[in-house]
Structures are given as structure tokens and as C-alpha cells.
Amino acid sequence: MSAFLDRLLRGPCLLLDGGLGSELIARGLPPGAPPDLWTLERPDELAAVHRAYVTAGSEAIHANTFGANGARLTRYGLEGRVADLNRTAVALARDSGARFVIADVGPTGEYLPPVGKGDPARWREHFTQQAALLAETGVDALHIETMTDVREALLALESLRAAAPALPVLVSLTFERKRRGFFSIMGDPVVSSLMRLAAAGAVAVGANCSLVSPDMRDLAREVLAGADGRDGAGAPGSAAASDAAVAYGAQGAASLRLVLQPNAGRPQATADGVHYAQTPQEFAEDLASLFPDPRIAALGGCCGTDPRFIVALRARMTERALARPAGAP
């Protein structure tokens, strides 16, 4: 078992980093420009963001590889730099002093028919290429993030596990809150989607982006209740949730591990740029309220969260841990 996987499964909850793209934009990356450009053009700025998160308390940080797959890079004329971008991004993250470096793997940015013209065979080639490159860098884990379609997430997971079998893979989808619960924009329900990914071999599953921390807290509670075969109020859950729990196998709810990275409130456009409304303390309280459930395996932030949010989350997590009775799970 790798050191990262042992740490994730053994606990306590792993503290991740916060938003990377939003921090680069705050440092001057033009909106709409691929963050990958700064891996080669402004490595000092990228390295400074990584170091700031490590100083704030992040035990594991994400390398700037989210968009470094061939499908996305082709849009910017960077398809010939896939190897350079992935290798350099991991090296910069490793130099930050973080205990663990996770390579970020984002979606292709395409959709399957009839919504789009995405080709699963070509997607597989891109994910396989990126995973093979990342496996050579000595990265500690892979994290598939911001997926909007569970089918693409499953394909990416299968591709990464085949190309880099020694590396643990985490998977996060992005969800919206609806009247009936949480769903991806493609209509994938949260409980069954995450259970399918866990059953397919993801070491932790969860959500990032789109949701603010109160919604992410409620999403986590819905998933944990669904994994137990209950609804959020403790009553027997839906047939779909129960089927998902059964499909997850005999280990069931006890072996589920969640990774959660909400945004820093709702973005607000101002004359000075985009600002996020939430305070670090509010963010930290919402996420820390999920303790002491040991299935909350990793917490961090997404868009708009900066090192202040990680400082606050670390402090709140520490307070919660110290407040637990001796011998508590």
C-alpha cells in the first residue's frame, strides 16, 4: 500500500489545498486563459501559490495538471506540450514541500451525443496518455475532478487505473442542488453516481466546485445516509440509493471515503474583478461540522478559496479533533 493511500484510509481527515485557478487569476492570469500556460511561462507564481497552501497547513496539494490533457490543450495550440506541462507541473508542486502531491485530471471539456460530439475512444487515449506521463513523475495520487457526466468520470477512472495501476485515484464530480437532491448537469444523482465510482475502484469519491460549503455539507450528509440505505432524516432511503449501496459490495458504507472541495461562496462580479462572498470561518465551520464521521477522508477548497480558508479549516478541524472524547472513533 502506498504511503498516500495508507494515510487516506487510516485518517485523520486529510487537509487539501484550496483554489488554484482563482489564485493564479488573482496574480494576473487573464480570465479565460489556460492556467497550464503559467506552468512554463510563470513557474515562480505557480510555485508561490503551492508554497502558500503548504504554509497554511495543506498536507496534500494538487499539481497544475487539471487541463493538461490533449483534448483541452488542442484548443490552445498546446497539444505538443502535454509531456512538458505534466512533468513540470508535478516538479513545481513537489518543490513546495508538501507531504503529498496529487496530480489533477480534469474533463476533456466535451460532451457525449446527443449533447455534443465527444468520442469515448479518443477520450480514453487522452486520459491514458496523461496518466502514463504522471506515473513517471512519482506523483502520490491522481484526482479526477470537476466531472459533469458520470460516464466520462468512469471512463477516466478506468483509463487511469489501467495506465497507472500503482497510483490511488480519487474522483470528484460537480453537482447542482435541486428540489429532489443533488444532481450533475447531465442528471446523474449524487448517491448512485458516487457509489458506482467507488465500486469501480476509486479510493475516495466526492464533489468539487459549483457548490458552496453549506450545500456541500448537505450533499455529504445525503451521500452518507444513502450509503447506509437511509434518507437524510434517518428513514429508509430510496430504492435507487439502496440499490447503489448493494452494488458497492459487502464493504458497504463503512469503507466509503469522501473528498469534498466547495467554492468560497457565490462569485460576485465587481469593478475590481470577481469576489467571493463567504468568510473563511463560515467555510471552515460548515465542513468541520461533518466530523467525527471517519468517512470524511479529505477536505479542501475550490474556486475562490485561498490560503486563509485552509488556515481556518485546519484550526476548526483541530478543535473538533481535540473536543472528541477519549476512545471515540
CA nearest neighbour of 301 among 314, 289, 310:
310
| Pairwise CA distance, residues 201 & 268, whole Å | 38
Residue 237 has pLDDT above 90, yes or no: no
Provide mean pLDDT across the span 208-232.
90
78/112 Cα distance (integer angstroms): 23
Which pLDDT score is estimated for 275?
A: 78
Sign of the CA dihedral running 318, 320, 323, 324? negative
Band the pLDDT of 250: cuts 50, 70, 90: very low
Instruction: Give the containing element (helix H, strand E) for 261.
Output: strand 258-263
Across the range 213-234, mean pLDDT stands at 84
* Domains, the chain: 3-323 (3.20.20.330)
| CA 273-38-168 angle, 5° bins | 105
- In order of 32, 86, 127, 145, 313, the CA distances from 285 in angstroms are 32, 35, 36, 24, 7
Instruction: Name the helix (H) or strand (E) containing 217.
Output: helix 213-227
3-state secondary structure of 141: strand
Measure the CA–CA gap between 120 and 111, rounded to whole angstroms: 10
Q: How confident is the model at residue 246 (pLDDT cuts 50, 70, 90)?
A: low
The residue with greater pLDDT, 45 or 275, is 45
How confident is the prediction for the chain on average, in pLDDT? 91
Cα four-point dihedral sign 56, 58, 59, 62: negative
Question: For 279-299, what is the mean pLDDT?
Answer: 95
The pLDDT, as a whole number, for residue 321 is 76
Q: Give burial (CB, 10 Å; 0-12/13-18/19+) of 255.
A: middle
Kindly tell me if the per-residue pLDDT of 73 is higher than 60.
yes
